[in-house]
Each structure stands twice: as structure tokens, then as C-alpha cells.
Structure 1
């Protein structure tokens, strides 16, 4: 899936994000690095004229690139502001995009005012809508508000995400099964290591 040619950058990034969240990205790190390098180069070549015009795609691209150490400007979010300098009210209709934008704001650096404002904007929206959402979005939003992705431990986040991903009607069954098997194998390894340590003491 990672090696397949996909015309839409957003689809490939969505796959990379899912693989990372499920905790199995270390098997595919070379491919992931290549994909992100291509995405960054395409982003640099296009400047702020991003082909992915929706909030979700731009937020995901920003977060993944920042997460992997690429210096991408937060100015790409200016397009989501109105003439008064506020974030457009219409963004509230895209909960998935707002959630992704919220996660992206946690990769801000000092002095990025737009992301400071975005954190307040997205948090307020998500908190107000959390009780009105249905599964799998509801638990996803609730968990993100409790602990953003950047502040979580990857292995624990993977276990949490498996439950959320499983409820998604569009989930990839092969990928989910692979992630569960990998989680169980690693758990057995850790149990054996713990047993060995306690035995020798």
C-alpha cells in the first residue's frame, strides 16, 4: 500500500498516519521517510498554493512533516481566516478537520500566533461538540482533548487508537489485524523480559 502510486497526496499521508498511530511504522520507516521527503519537496515547490484545500489534508500534512522534523510554515493556515482575522465559522462543520487541526497545533513553536489562536479555536469547538458526536469520532475527540497525540506514549496511544480505528467503517482489516498481532507479540516479549528480571533478582 505504501509503495503503490497514489495520485492524491492526502490518501498517502492518511495511510502513513494510520500506520504510525497503530504502532507499526517501524516496519516501514524507509518507505515513510521517502513519502514524507517527496511530500515536503512538493510542498516547497508549490509554496503556499497547496493542492489539498481542505482543513483536514493541510493539517495532516503540516503535523506529519513537523513531527518528522521538516520546517514547514504555519502560514498555510492563513487561508482559513476571514477578512476580520478570525477563523472561518464554516470550519465548525468539518469536525474531522477540526480534530486534525487541533492535533497540528501541538506542534507549534514559540511565536506562532496563528497556531496559538488555532489551539483556542479548536479546543473550544471540540469541547462544545464532544457530547453530540457519535462513535468512532466521539471517543477520538474525547481522548484527544484529554491527551493530544504529541503528549502520549506511542505504544499506549497505539492500543487506544486500535479501538477507535476498529469502529471506523472504512478501516483496513488487514492493517488492523497486523497491528493487533504486533502489539500482542511485543506484549509477550515485555512480559518475558520482566519475568527474567524478577527471576534473577
Structure 2
């Protein structure tokens, strides 16, 4: 489909005479002083750098989780539970490739004519259905129609991860490696975000007042 240019101009040509005689005064907002003063500058300190030991521990745990994900001894439903936990704990960005491979394999082996062929408890099958749908796979709800009636709550991912970390140890499929990694990863990201925010607060915005209008 070709795009035909409209005969009418979206922006009218400027009038030289008008531009010569008119001048827009630059408006400046009269903001109140910041209540926080220099409080957030403390976050720009090098003390908030993620230490080498923490980085090493995170990488070690990530490798353990990868081995868990690629293990051929786990059943598809068990792997689905691990993937769900990883997503809820805010760790999925570390394992996007592995998660995609797992769900693709499940789609190839356990879905026929858009229907899940596995047998299992309703909760596990509903979880598998949800994960496949979330990642764009066409799966019929069939006996899982009630899942579609549920309205999943979607909040800010990091805040939801923080809440889930605090209760994950109560989950039936609780895994110590995942929980430890989630805590370390959350703390590392917290330090990174604080440091970035502290660096932003160091900017001298007074120089913007000297910028000329273009």
C-alpha cells in the first residue's frame, strides 16, 4: 500500500514579516525548592558499587539455575513450575533464551492441534497453559476455560518481585538456589538504580537557563 501525500500542508509556512516583528518571551517556571535538598547525592558514592564477591555469587547461582532448566530429568510440568518461579522472582531477564527453548520444546512435544496433551492436576496444566499463552503460543483452553476468567493482577515488576521474594519460601516448589539468587539480584539492582539516581542528582541544571531557544 503506497502512502499518498496530502495536498494540504500540516505546518503552514512561516511569514518572514511576522517572524521579524514577533518574539516569544521564554517562560520560566517558579518551582519551589526541592524538599530533599542533597539527600540523594549520597547514592552517588562508590560504596554502592556491586562488589566482586556479590557478582561472583550471582554468576555461580545463575549457572546452577541454567543447569536446572536444561536438565532432561525434569518433567515438562516441573519445568513450567520453575519458569513460573523465575518470572515471579524477577529473574527471567537472565534466562530468556533458556525459557524460550523450554516452552518451544513443550509446545512441540506436549501440544497437538493446539491442545495440551499432558495429563496432570488442573493447577499444573493451567500454569502450563498460562505460560504458553504469555509467550505467544496458540493453545486452546479446552478444560481450562476458567483460567480465562481470571484477571491477573499486573503491577510494577520489581515491586511484585520484592513481594514474591518475601513469601516464596512458603511455596510448595520452593527452591533455595532460586531464592538466594533472587535476593542477591534484587540487592544488586537496587544498588545500581540508587547510584544512577545519585549521579542524576549531581547534574547542574542551572546551565540550562543559559540555553537559547532554537
Q: Same fold (TM over 0.5)?
A: yes
TM-score range with shorter-chain normalisation? Answer: 0.5 to 0.7
Task: Mark the runs of 5 or more structure 2 residues left unpaired by the alignment.
Answer: 1-67, 206-214
Moved more, 173-182 or 163-172: 163-172
**Greater helix share, structure number:** 1
1:160 corresponds in structure 2 to 163
Point out which structure has higher relative CO (alpha carbons under 8 A, 6+ apart): 2
Is it true that 1:41 corresponds to 2:44 in the alignment? no
Runs of 4+, deviation exceeding 4 Å: none
**Contact 2:114/2:138 (<8 A) preserved:** no
Cα contact 2:88–2:160 (8 A) shared by 1: yes
Structure 1: which 5+ residue stretches go unaligned? 79-100, 106-114, 120-146
Change over 3 Å in CA distance of 1:7–1:47 after alignment to 2: farther
Aligned residues, how many?
137
- C-alpha deviation, 1:47, in angstroms: 5.2
- Alpha-carbon distance in 2 for matches of 1:40, 1:187: 36
Distance 1:177 1:49 in 2: 33
Provide closer, same or farther for how the CA distance between residues 11 and 189 of structure 1 changes in structure 2, counting only shifts above 3 A.
Answer: same
Query: What is the CA-CA distance between 1:189 and the residue it aligns to?
Result: 0.6
What is the distance in 2 between the residues matched to 1:8 and 1:46? 21
Please say if 1:70 is aligned against 2:143: no
Return the TM-score normalized by structure 1. Answer: 0.61
**Aligned counterparts, 1:104-119, within 5 A:** 105=147, 115-116=148-149, 119=150
Distance 1:198 1:62, change over 3 A: same
Task: Specify the structure having the higher radius of gyration (Cα).
Answer: 2
Corresponding residue to 1:15 among 67, 72, 82: 82
